[in-house]
């Protein structure tokens, strides 16, 4: 992992963090809907990345059968440049189903193709334009957060500068209500940026608008943060607190890792199916720094219509919390 990158400082103070609940409230965020009571330790809300392909009713049926209290989704195909476009009836159905299911936090995830740090002009230009469209679509849907992967570039410091200028070009001056943009850490593969908190902090503090952080446990482990040991967890929590302040981490992606610590290989595994284990991941989630955050599992799934793997992962997580003396409400 590289050291502190050289970027111009921002007028925002290092400890300043955006609110947990997102950016300016989106027009689609439910109003007058009762939010379901939290039944996880540390006021966490836990759920999965689910597909919207079969429509909002089916999405929330899967949400319910898995016992979720938060969800993440792509707004369109994650592997094309096509702009996300929801018909009015789909937007209405999504808002109604969300309200009916307790107004859970909604995390939208940008497509995989985006790389605002790219050295290829065409990729970078498309990424900037597409991010703006996804940001506007996330606001229309009423998402609380929009997650963006940190990009990649062979020249680390120049890549971070590209990220900053790309984010400013894409989002600066966007009017109206909007979700909070979250920058996600990486596994440090090849030319990845954002494998350490310092990278993300440097980008955030060079921006004139608020952003937050989505922290992926598999990516962190692959990048060399040993969440399988108490010393490693303490080190990571300390770095997160120094880099992002008390509320900078707004969402956690909870995934075990198929490969060992420091492998720089991003391969998600089921909880207890990788090198960290559910008990160690639960211990990480009990940090006061993560109180109240949505926790999204991106673990392997047998299929959209088969909740068995997801239910098994939640059961392992509940047992892991019980091991630490923090029983969930059910």
Residue span of the structural domain in which 269 resides: 41-323
Among positive and negative, which fits the CA dihedral 293, 227, 298, 112?
A: positive
What is Dmax (Cα atoms) for the chain? 53
Cα–Cα distance between 155 and 116 in angstroms, integer? 14
Residue 329 domain-assigned (yes or no): no
CATH code at position 213: 3.20.20.150
Residue 23 domain-assigned (yes or no): no
Asked if the model's pLDDT at residue 252 lies above 90, the reply is yes
Residue 330 domain-assigned (yes or no): no
CA distances to 65, 204, 209, 292, 310 from 256, in Å: 23, 27, 32, 21, 13
Residue 34 domain-assigned (yes or no): no
Structurally, how many domains does the chain consist of? 1
Instruction: Tell me what the mean pLDDT of segment 228-248 comes to.
Output: 96
Percent of the chain residues topping a pLDDT of 70: 88
Are 72 and 107 in contact by the 8 Å Cβ rule? The answer is yes
Residue 5 domain-assigned (yes or no): no
Q: Indicate the average pLDDT of the chain.
A: 90
Nearest to 299 by CA among 310, 291, 289, 311: 310
In which band, very low, low, confident or very high, does the pLDDT at 7 lie, cut at 50, 70 and 90? low
Asked if the model's pLDDT at residue 24 lies above 70, the reply is no
Structure confidence at residue 101 (pLDDT): 97
Tens of pLDDT, residue by residue over 300-326, are 987 667 899 999 999 999 999 999 986
Asked if the model's pLDDT at residue 247 lies above 90, the reply is no
Structure confidence at residue 238 (pLDDT): 97
Residue 25 domain-assigned (yes or no): no
Nearest to 270 by CA among 304, 230, 232, 310: 310
């Amino acid at each position: 992992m590289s050291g502190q990158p050289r970027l111009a400082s921002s007028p925002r103070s290092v400890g300043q963090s955006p609110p947990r609940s997102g950016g300016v409230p989106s027009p689609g965020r439910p109003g007058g809907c009762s939010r379901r009571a939290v039944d996880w330790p540390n006021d966490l809300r836990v759920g999965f990345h689910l597909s919207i392909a079969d429509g909002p009713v089916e999405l929330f049926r899967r949400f319910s059968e898995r016992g979720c209290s938060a969800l993440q989704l792509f707004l369109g195909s994650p592997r094309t440049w096509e702009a996300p476009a929801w018909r009015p009836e789909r937007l209405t159905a999504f808002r109604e189903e969300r309200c009916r299911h307790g107004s859970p936090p909604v995390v939208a995830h940008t497509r995989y193709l985006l790389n605002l740090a790219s050295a290829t002009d065409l990729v970078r230009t498309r990424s900037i334009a597409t991010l703006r469209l996804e940001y506007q679509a996330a606001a229309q849907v009423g998402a609380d957060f929009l997650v963006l992967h940190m990009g990649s570039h062979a020249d680390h410091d120049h890549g971070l500068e590209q990220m900053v200028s790309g984010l400013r070009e894409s989002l600066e001056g966007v009017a109206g209500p909007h979700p909070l943009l979250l920058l996600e850490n990486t596994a440090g593969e090849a030319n990845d940026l954002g494998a350490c908190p310092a990278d993300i902090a440097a980008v955030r503090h060079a921006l004139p608008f608020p952003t937050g952080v989505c922290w992926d446990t598999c990516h962190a482990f692959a990048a060399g943060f040993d969440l399988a040991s108490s010393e490693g967890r303490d080190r990571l929590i300390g770095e997160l607190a120094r880099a992002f302040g008390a509320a900078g981490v707004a969402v956690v992606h909870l995934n075990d890792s198929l490969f060992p610590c420091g492998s720089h290989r991003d391969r998600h595994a089921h909880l207890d199916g990788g090198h960290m284990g559910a008990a160690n991941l639960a211990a990480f989630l009990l940090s006061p720094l993560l109180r109240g955050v949505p926790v999204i599992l991106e673990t392997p799934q047998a299929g959209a219509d088969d909740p068995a793997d997801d239910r098994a992962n939640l059961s392992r997580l509940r047992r892991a919390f019980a091991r630490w003396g923090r029983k969930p409400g059910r």
